[in-house]
Structure 1
Amino acid sequence: MNQACENSRIVGCSFSVHPMSDQFVTYIMDSLKEVDTSKVWLHTDDVTTTVRGRMEHVFDVTKAILLHIAKTGVHVAFQGTFSIGCPGDTSGDVYMDESSERLNETKVTGLRLLIAAKFSLYPMGGGDYMDTIYAQIEAMKSKGVEVSPAHYSTRLDGDTHDIFTGLEDVFRETEESGSSHTVMTVTVSANSPSHKETE
């Protein structure tokens, strides 16, 4: 197996969405129908959905899928792993030629929804990774979301758009800081009946 880092900067996210309803398949399929995925490589199997392409389009698609399910009012959980860099990801590189225009932003910009999220950042290939992580946690505080510590992660509370913008900024800035392989895990809860009860 070739484990060398490649030059491709394609971003990928492998994620699962879990509507808390007997009609979970309908919620997921209806959301996928509403979201324009033409600028990303997409594959769904019995465990996860994976999207790959330019960074802005991966975040655009994942946020839109979550919002289209959550706008129904159903309690939904989202769990995703974003990755860029080593080991090189080259299949689907044709999507890197797409323009930067986000196809779903205008369709979801009016959907304002408060969510709770946790994220963990893993910059690889550099020596001062904790400094990078702490710097990005501090940067997140300027994004208009509430930031608080949690075990093995950082908690975020706020509007979906603000949180996803912050996550994308953190991911991009970490990659641009010299991390040859950056991984970020994200867990989101929307419309939870127990939101912030445990605080």
Structure 2
Amino acid sequence: MFSGAQISLYPMTGDFVGVIMSALGALDPYRDQLRIETDDISTLLVGPPEVLFPAMRDLFVATAASGIHCVLSAAISRGCPGEPDDAICASPQLNGPREPIEQRKDAAFAAIAGAPHTGSTIAAQFSLYVMGEGDHMDEIYGCIDFVKRSGVFDRSKNFCTRLGGDAGPVFAALEAAFCKFGPPEGHVTIDLTVSANSPTPR
């Protein structure tokens, strides 16, 4: 299995380099559990979902703590047939047979209930793609039902779903969407945009 994310961070300030460099310390607790590669467009984080999503959460929360408007854009993928297996990505969430979808929803709700609260309010929009044929739409509809009852659902939008609330439960919901829907060894992707401190009124 291969799982990871290509992320780009955008602080809306002239001192964007300083804000990003200050926020990078939030990744320190995760560095021995992730493979991290950076170029001039994005940073690749490779590792298991239970490390990947908290790392993205903490990086974004550290950036948002500056008080300036900031955005995180991420392309998140697991099980891509074009990527080699990587031992660092081994995860108990992606092993074994697929449980019935209602049982997976219950596990997803429990993950949100147990998520830490960060004190950082964020907005996010995401699209889930379960690749393949067969019951992939059943998996997507199951995820939509979960998200609408997750406590962080804001509204449906064209091509995506908007979430809002504390960063802890929001990222927990995203991790659950990524792990609990679609075959454990299947190819699943998420297109994600997260925003904080936006000056745009709702």
TM-score over 0.5 (shorter chain): yes
Q: How far is 1:162 from its partner?
A: 0.9
Which AA in structure 1 matches 2:187?
H
Query: Map of 1:166-181 to 2, 5 A cutoff?
Result: 166-176=173-183, 180-181=186-187
The alignment-based identity, stated in percent, is 35
Secondary structure in 2 matching 1:149: strand
Q: How far is 1:134 from its partner?
A: 1.8
Q: 1:33 aligns with which of 25, 29, 38?
A: 25
Q: 2:194 maps to what in 1?
A: 188
Q: Which runs of 4+ in 1 moved over 3 A?
A: 96-100
Count of residues paired in the alignment? 179
Secondary structure in 2 matching 1:35: helix
- The answer to whether 1:24 aligns with 2:16 is yes
- The answer to whether 1:87 aligns with 2:93 is no
- The answer to whether 1:67 aligns with 2:58 is no
Q: How far is 1:140 from its partner?
A: 1.4
Q: Is the contact made by 1:14 and 1:49 (CA closer than 8 Å) also made in structure 2?
A: yes
TM-score normalised by the chain length of structure 1: 0.81
> 2:90 and 2:78 mapped to 1: Cα distance?
16
Q: Is the contact made by 1:140 and 1:147 (CA closer than 8 Å) also made in structure 2?
A: no
Q: 1:149 maps to what in 2?
A: 156
Secondary structure in 2 matching 1:79: strand
> 1:98 and 1:120 mapped to 2: Cα distance?
23
Change (3 A) 1:98 1:186: closer
Q: Is the contact made by 1:125 and 1:179 (CA closer than 8 Å) also made in structure 2?
A: no
- The answer to whether 1:56 aligns with 2:66 is no
Larger helix proportion of the pair: 2
Which AA in structure 2 matches 1:84?
R
Which AA in structure 1 matches 2:169?
D
Q: Which runs of 5+ in 2 are unaligned?
A: 94-115
Q: How far is 1:32 from its partner?
A: 1.1
Q: Is the contact made by 1:35 and 1:64 (CA closer than 8 Å) also made in structure 2?
A: yes
Q: Is the contact made by 2:117 and 2:166 (CA closer than 8 Å) also made in structure 1?
A: no
> 1:99 and 1:74 mapped to 2: Cα distance?
37
Q: Is the contact made by 1:16 and 1:49 (CA closer than 8 Å) also made in structure 2?
A: yes
> 2:156 and 2:185 mapped to 1: Cα distance?
23
CA RMSD of aligned residues (A): 2.3
Q: 2:130 maps to what in 1?
A: 123
> 1:34 and 1:166 mapped to 2: Cα distance?
20
Change (3 A) 1:98 1:145: closer
Q: Is the contact made by 2:46 and 2:89 (CA closer than 8 Å) also made in structure 1?
A: no
Q: How far is 1:179 from its partner?
A: 6.6
- The answer to whether 1:77 aligns with 2:71 is yes
Q: Which runs of 5+ in 1 are unaligned?
A: 1-7, 101-108
> 1:173 and 1:24 mapped to 2: Cα distance?
35
Cα deviations across residues 63-103 of structure 1 (Å, max 9, x unaligned)? Answer: 11101100111110111011001224336x24246999xxx
